[in-house]
Amino acid sequence: MTHHVDDQVARWARREPLLALLSRATRGVLLPEEGALLRAAVDTELAAAERAERQRDDARRIAVALENQLAAVRGLHVDSITASGVVRFNPDTGGDTAYCTHDSQNWPCATIRAIEEQP
């Protein structure tokens, strides 16, 4: 979070002089050296925007990859009723219960519980 706040502070520190230069340019009173400052400020903002877009795209790719991995794990851990309609007697309850086809634990198995308990 601190990195994000630092980025925001730096961005606003760059934008204040940029806005002043744009205001001067609009009024037609921009000095030649201020034109170079204006170009540098615009280039910096454009580069920051491109970095942010790359980071967003990277985050989206990572999120898709994680969703695919999670789907693969869920695919391995299927309850016996969904997979084959099979249940087994549960002595604790005196009735039938589903079990995980991957590791034979009562359904939901420890893996599925761990996944579902995450925020």
Count of C-beta atoms within a 10 Å radius of residue 90? 13
Q: Is the pLDDT of residue 1 over 60?
A: no
Q: Is 77 helix (H, G, I), strand (E, B) or coil?
A: coil
Strand partners, 100: 79
pLDDT confidence band for 64 (50 / 70 / 90):
very high
Rg (CA), the chain: 29
The rounded distance, in Å, linking the Cα atoms of 37 and 19 is 12
pLDDT tens per residue, range 65-88 = 999 999 999 888 888 887 777 787
Q: What predicted TM-score, i.e. pTM, was given to this entire model?
A: 0.62
Q: Is the pLDDT of residue 94 over 80?
A: no
pLDDT confidence band for 61 (50 / 70 / 90):
very high
